[in-house]
Amino acid sequence: MKVNEITNSALGETVFEAKHPSGLTVLVMPKQGYSTSYAAFAARYGSIDNIIMKADSTALSLPAGTAHFLEHKLFESEELNAFERFAKTGASANAYTSFDMTAYVFSCAGHFRESLDILLDFVSKPFFTQETVEKEQGIIGQEIGMYNDDPGWQVFFGLLKLLYPAEPVGIDIAGTPESIAQITAQTLYECYRSYYHPANMALAAVGDVSVQQVLDAVDALPAAREGAQPAKRLFAPDYSKPEAASAEKQLAVSMPRFMLGFKERMSAAQLTAKQSVLSSILLDIIAGKASVLYRDLIAGRLANPGFSSECFSGHGYCVHLFGGDSPDPQAAAQAVREKIASLKSAGIDSANFERSRRNLYGQMIMMYNSTDNLANALVSSHFAGQRLFDEFEACKAVTLDDINQRLEECFDENLSTVSIVSPLSTA
C-alpha cells in the first residue's frame, strides 16, 4: 500500500495519505508531543442523500432523517454499546450527521490504538432489529420536538425551505415524526450497504499517533463486500428562485430573530478551495466585527452583538447567511442588502481586502493547533475533492480582482430571502 506524504513547508505540517486495499482513504497527521489525539471515521452520506440507485437501475426513496437515524443506531450492538466500550479506554466519543456527511469521532489522552479499534469495529458491524428501531423512533421524535422549539434551528431551516423548497437540503437533518416512522431495520441495512462502503468513507487521525499504528488498525477491518459498489451521489444544479421573499414563524422568544440568505448558482457540485476562501474574506469585509455595517447595526440598535455571517455550503448548495436578534428584522436585512449593493457599485478597496485576508490567514494557522478541527477538516476536504492545505494556499494567492469577481457571483437579489422567528402574539 502506497503512502503519500503531503507537506506544507510554510506551516511545518505533514499529512500522510493512503488508499487501503478495501477502498478506504486513510489520512494521518502526526503531532508529536500533543497530549490529546483525535480520530474521525466518516461516510460520504448525509441528509441530502435520500435515494439509493439499485443494481436494476430503479431508485429506492429514503425517508427524511434516515442518515441521522442510522448514526444513532450504529452505536448499538448485541453486547456492550460503543459508549460503554470507550469508557473502558477513557476516550470521549461522539458522532454527527450533516447534510452531506456522517462522522464518528473520539478524543483520548492515552490508549489511542485500543480506542481506534473500537471505533473501526462498531462502525463496521451494524446491528439493527425492528424492536430497537421502534424504540429509537420515540427518542428521535422527542429530539425533533426540541428542535421545533429552538429559534436558531427554526430560523435556519425556515430559510433553507424558502431557498430550496424542492431539495432535501431544505428538510431538517433529523427528519419529521412522520418520516422517521417509516424507517425500518431493513431501511437501515439498505442504507448501510450502499453508503458505508470503504470506498465511500475516510478515516482521519491527528495527534500523538503514527501512520503505521493507524494502518495496522485498518488492516483488521472486514474486507470490502464482494461485488458491492458504493452509492453514487449525483449533482443537479438548482437555479430556482426562492419560494417567497420572506417567511415568519412565532415562537417563545423575547426578541425577533432573522436570517437573510443569498443562494448561489452552483456551476459544480462543490465550491473550490479558492471560492470558499473568497467567501470567508467577503463576509468579513461586509459584516465582520470590524466592518462599518456591524458597527452601524449595533449603534442603530438594529442588531445585538451576536449578529454574524456564514458561508453555508456543501454538495450542490451554497448560501451566504447574515443574521441575529433584531427588533426590526426587515430593516436589519435591508441594511445588509444596501451594504452589499454599495460594495458592488464602488468595488472592494485593497486595504479592506488585505485586512480581512490576513485575518483569515491567521485564523487558519490557529486551526493547526486543534486536533479535532484538523481531523474533521481532513475528512470533509477529502469528500469535497480537496486536500487539507488547499484553502491555506488559496488564502495566500487570492487577489483584489478575485474578491470583486466573487462579490458579483455570491449575492443575487433574485435569489435572496429572509426567515424570521418572532415572539408569540399576545392577542
Q: How far is CA 241 from CA 114, 237, 258, 398, in A?
A: 51, 12, 20, 30
Rg (CA), the chain: 23
Alpha-carbon distance 325 to 323, whole Å? 7
DSSP line for 114-177: HHHHHHHHHHHS----HHHHHHHHHHHHHHHHHHHT-HHHHHHHHHHHHH-TTSGGGS-TT--H
Query: What interhelical angle do 273-287 and 292-299 show, nearest 10?
Result: 40
Instruction: Return the pLDDT at 79.
Output: 81
Alpha-carbon distance 311 to 280, whole Å? 7
92 with 83: CB under 8 angstroms? no
pTM of the complete model: 0.94
Q: Which amino acid makes up residue 182?
A: Q
Q: Biggest alpha carbon distance in the chain? A: 70
Quick count: other Cβ atoms within 10 Å of Cβ 271? 21
Cell readout for 139 is 427518542
| pLDDT tens digit sequence for 113-134 | 999 999 999 999 999 999 999 9
387 with 15: CB under 8 angstroms? yes
3-class SS of residue 245: coil
pLDDT score of 224 more than 60: no
Active-site residue 71, yes or no?
Answer: yes
Alpha-carbon distance 81 to 145, whole Å? 26
Instruction: Return the pLDDT at 225.
Output: 56
Q: Which residues of 304-341 are buried (b: 16+ CB within 10 A; e: fewer)?
A: eeebebbbbbbbbbbbbbbbbbbeebeebbebbbebbe
427 falls in which pLDDT band (50, 70, 90)? low
Phi, psi of 44 (to 5 degrees): -80, 70
410 falls in which pLDDT band (50, 70, 90)? very high
Instruction: Return the pLDDT at 239.
Output: 77
Cell readout for 56 is 436494476
| pLDDT tens digit sequence for 136-150 | 999 999 999 999 999
Cell readout for 368 is 493547526
72 with 154: CB under 8 angstroms? no
Cell readout for 359 is 485575518
Q: Which CATH architecture has domain 246-423?
A: 2-Layer Sandwich (3.30)
| pLDDT tens digit sequence for 2-13 | 999 999 999 999
Q: Where are the beta strands (DSSP E) in 214-299?
A: 246-251, 257-263
Q: Which amino acid makes up residue 403?
A: I
* Average pLDDT value for residue range 299-318: 96
Instruction: Return the pLDDT at 188.
Output: 97
pLDDT above 90 covers a percentage of the chain that reads 90
Q: Grid coordinates 442603530 are at which residue?
A: 300
Topology agreement, domain 3-219 and domain 246-423: yes
Alpha-carbon distance 104 to 120, whole Å? 9
262 with 416: CB under 8 angstroms? yes
Q: Which of 5, 17, 71, 136 is catalytic?
A: 71
185 with 175: CB under 8 angstroms? no
Q: Which of 346, 422, 413, 391 is nearest to 11 (CA)?
A: 391
Q: Give the start-to-end residue ranges of the domains of the chain.
A: 3-219, 246-423
Tell me the CATH number for domain 3-219.
Answer: 3.30.830.10
| pLDDT tens digit sequence for 38-88 | 999 999 999 999 998 776 777 889 999 999 999 999 999 888 899 999 999
Cell readout for 379 is 475528512
